[in-house]
Amino acid sequence: MANMDSDSRHLLIPEGDHEINPGPMNIQFDSSDIRSKRPFYIEPTNIVSVNDVIQRVSDHASAMNKRIHYYSRLTAPADRALIAPDHVVPAPEECYVYSPLGSAYKLQCYTEGYGKNTSLVTIFMIWNTMLGTSILSIPWGIKQAGFTTGMCVIMLMGLLTLYCCYRVVKSRSMISSVDTTTWEYPDVCRYYFGSFGQWSSLLFSLVSLIGAMIVYWVLMSNFLFNTGKFIFNFIHHINDTDSIPSTNDSNPVICPSARSGGHPDNSSVIFYASNSELQQFEKWWNKSKTVPFYLIGLLLPLLNFKSPSFFSKFNILGTVSVLYLIFLVTWKAIRLGFHLEFHWFMPTEFFVPEIRFQFPQLTGVLTLAFFIHNCIITLLKNNKNQENNVRDLSIAYMLVTLTYLYIGVLVFASFPSPPLSKDCIEQNFLDNFPSSDILSFIARIFLLFQMMTVYPLLGYLARVQLLGHVFGDVYPSIFHVLIFNLFIVGAGVIMACFYPNIGGIIRYSGAACGLAFVFIYPSLIYIISLHQEDRLTWPKLIFHVFIIILGLANLIVQFFM
């Protein structure tokens, strides 16, 4: 048999008389698994001329094509065993599509990665998805942990969650026997832990979603209340000098929790005994008693939609809100100046110590703040250059850490401490600005709109996951969906009425769902896959068990704080 090596390695031996290339047709390729459909090749038929040997395609390419066609008939489509590996099939740039008339053209959109997003877009998407409402609690978290400790904890948590996220991204590559190209992280959990893995990952995912939705409800009631109050005061020209300690200048900062705290109340209490209009207003527009219920009429109908794709168009509001918050914080910091004093262990009247033992509250908040592990695989799938995935992920995490540090440090540092104590920093730092402040009013409006558009999306995700797994159908009937929605809304309303501390809700739900997705699953799966390959070493085992213990400690300690 002839020597194969003399075969030309080129796939296409160019011929002189190509037809004018009409340009690529609008062929849509399902991007979910392009590999199983390669190569695209239709044999040219010898319609044109009889005797000259017009070599359209080299024999090597033709043979490979026939081989791949044949092998694809031997297995089920999902079985990866006989799908051509990358080193065997030519690079995508060398693949041509043939029309039966003999012309060949390259596909413009056929790139190696499954997606077409540049690194910049991917980094932005990760940053955008990760930055959520926990940004409002970061200054409070820093206050709970102490300034120095807070900064160190933020950076360390960023690194730790980045490492766990890296483990999540790499988890699919350790599975060699099955085709994992369409898998998300819960599928990986199911592969390793069976149906226990599937159900537990579903449960923890729901914990994070429902926790987020409760936080949203509390915040929305808060913002709606403040907006309404601002508008009312603006219309009726009421100067809102409540009996709350605040700074007496053009950039007021208030300390709402001191009203019920032990601070001596020096300012006078102003009675509006004769102003029944205001009394009526305050009766019907109360942050914890009435406003949460008004929201029901607004949001419950939105939750019942089958497909919330309409709301995803408002995704840009999230970015705008974050950017505006950054601007707001910078502006306030410039106006208020820095007020920092370093006391290491003892609290003073106005300042908190640098190192406090309540720092686990910050780690709880940060677990949710840096949480993206259940959808990072999908986000990175669309990266054009897949080999840059780890680099882009690290850059995104670094940017998120910087954003949190920036906002947290600036708010904390610029909080006017001589008149007010740093302890006054609220779990939602916008609460530290009175409802008459224009800039924070704008911030609240932005955030209110943004949350109203994200809330149905979150509800949809939770519904799809729970009802999809329990009933098998994403929309079993309007009654199931209504009951589910009532349950979620009810939880939100109850929390808004009785426990509107978003810092608390965030840290509990963050530590709980982070336990599974951030700490336990990635480390455990890595240990197991190494063990299956006999590559497990003692240092790696100890390190990852340590991570699991950290996660458990993180959750347990939340209940003691």
Partner 1 sequence: MPNTAMKKKVLLMGKSRSGKTSMRSIIFANYIACDTRRLGATINVEHSHVRFLGNLVLNLWDCGGQDTFMENYFTSQRDNIFRNVEVLIYVFDVESRELEKDMHYYQSCLEAILQNAPDAKIFCLVHKMDLVQEDQRDLIFKEREEDLRRLSRPLECACFRTSIWDETLYKAWSSIVYQLIPNVQQLEMNLGNFARIIEADEVLLFERATFLVISDYQCKEQRDVHRFETISNIIQQFKLSCSKLAASFQSMEVRNSNFAAFIDIFTSNTYVMVVMSDPSIPSAATLINIRNARKHFEKLERVDGPKRSLLMR
Residues binding partner 1 (CB under 8 A): 1-2, 4, 7, 46, 50, 53, 59-60, 62-64, 66-67, 69-71, 73-76, 78-79, 81-82, 84-85, 87-88, 177-178
E strands, 65-222, in order: 96-98, 104-106
Query: Judged by CB, which is closer to partner 1: 25, or 91?
Result: 91
**Other Cβ atoms within 10 Å of 102 Cβ, number:** 18
Alpha-carbon distance values, 266 to 245, 258, 259, 262, 530 (Å): 8, 12, 11, 12, 65
Can you say how many angstroms the Cα of residue 431 is from the centroid of all Cα atoms in its chain?
Answer: 24
| 3-state class percentages of the chain: helix first, strand second, coil last, to nearest 5 | 60, 0, 35
Based on CB atoms, which residue is closest to partner 1, 38 or 469?
38
Shortest CB 198 distance to partner 1, Å: 19
Tokens of 84: 């051509």
When the beta carbons of 4 and 91 are compared against partner 1, the nearer one is 4
122: left (phi over 0), alpha (psi -120 to 50) or beta: alpha
At residue 373, the 3 state secondary structure works out as coil
Tell me the closest approach of the beta carbon of residue 536 to partner 1, in angstroms. 15
State in angstroms the smallest separation of the CB of 203 from partner 1: 27
User: Whose Cβ is closer to partner 1: residue 79's or residue 473's?
Assistant: 79
Q: Which is nearer to partner 1, 177 or 260 (CB)?
A: 177
Query: How near is the Cβ of 91 to partner 1 at its closest, in Å?
Result: 15
Structure tokens at 180: 């994992």
In terms of CB distance, is 2 or 235 closer to partner 1? 2
Nearer to partner 1, 87 or 313 (CB): 87
Q: Give the C-alpha separation, 493 to 322, whole Å.
A: 26
Shortest distance (Å) from residue 61 CB to partner 1 = 10
Q: What six digits make up the tokens of 36?
A: 């199983």
Strand partners, 117: 383
C-beta of 73 vs 313, nearer to partner 1:
73
Residue 199 Cβ vs partner 1, minimum distance, rounded to whole Å: 23
As measured in angstroms, the least distance from the Cβ of 56 to partner 1 is 13
CA distance 130 to 185: 17
Nearer to partner 1, 84 or 399 (CB): 84
Evaluate the CA torsion angle 329, 332, 338, 339 in order and state its sign.
Answer: negative
Nearest distance in Å: CB 355, partner 1: 50
Rounded Cα distance, 496 and 167, in Å = 37
Cα–Cα nearest to 438, from 311, 251, 260: 251
Q: Within 13 Å of residue 258, how many CA atoms lie on the same side as its CB?
A: 22
The least CB distance from residue 44 to partner 1, in Å, is 13
Q: How far apart are CA 446 and CA 287, in angstroms?
A: 19
